[in-house]
Amino acid sequence: MTFQNQLNDYILQARCSSKELATASGLSEGTISRYRKGYRVPGIASEQVSALASGLYSLLNDKDPQITKEHILTTLRDSIGNGLVISYDVYIKNLKQLLRSFEISNNELGRKLNYDPSYISRILSGQRRPGDIRKFTEDVAAYIAHQKADEVRPPSLAEFLGCDEQTISTPDGLQAQIEAWLCAD
Residues 110 and 76 in one domain: no
Number of domains in the chain: 2
Q: What is the mean pLDDT of residues 178-182?
A: 87
Q: What is the pTM of this model?
A: 0.58
126-172 pLDDT per residue, tens? 888 887 788 899 999 999 998 887 775 655 788 888 888 888 888 88
45: how many CB neighbours lie within 10 A of its CB?
9
Closest listed residue to residue 147, CA positions, set 94, 103, 181: 103
Q: How far apart are CA 134 and CA 55, in angstroms?
A: 27
Secondary structure percentages of the chain, helix, strand, coil, to 5? 70, 0, 30
> 1 pLDDT exceeds 90?
no
Range of the domain at 129: 88-183
Domain boundary among 83, 116, 138: 83
Residues 170 and 133 in one domain: yes
Domain boundary among 55, 83, 111: 83
64-112 pLDDT per residue, tens? 888 899 999 989 988 875 555 567 888 899 999 999 988 999 999 999 9
Amino acid letter, 10: Y
Residues 77 and 132 in one domain: no
2-47 pLDDT per residue, tens? 888 999 999 999 999 999 999 999 999 999 998 898 777 887 767 8
| Amino acid 24: pLDDT | 96
